[in-house]
Amino acid sequence: MKHIVKILSLLVTISAFWIGLLQAAIVPRTHTWLLPIYFIVSLGCYGLLMVGIGLMQFPTCPQEALLLQKDIVEAKDFFKHKGVDVGSD
C-alpha cells in the first residue's frame, strides 16, 4: 500500500509541475507538450539500466548449478525409461 501511495504522489507532483509549466509559459509550449514523452522515454531508459545492472550483479550459484545438472540427468533417464527420445548426450 505504501508503494502505491508513493507512485500516486509522484504522479500528482509531476502532473502539477507540468500543468504549472503550461500555465506559466516559462518554457515554450512546443517543448512543454513534449515533456510527458521525454519523461516516458527517460523512465524506459532507467528501467533498462536497472535490468542491465541486475543482470551484471546476478549471483552465480555453483552448488545450485550442480543440483540442476543432476536433476537434468535424472529427468533424461526417467524419460528414456518411458520411451521418449530426449536427444543425444
Rounded Cα gap, residues 6 and 88, in angstroms: 53
Asked if pLDDT for residue 23 goes beyond 60, the answer is yes
Sign, CA torsion 71/77/82/88: positive
State residue 49's pLDDT score: 92
44-74: pLDDT as tens digits:
998 899 899 888 887 888 888 899 999 999 9
* Three cell numbers, residue 72: 537434468
* Grid coordinates given for 36: 510527458
**Per-residue confidence band for 39, with pLDDT thresholds at 50, 70 and 90:** confident
Provide the pLDDT for residue 1. 63
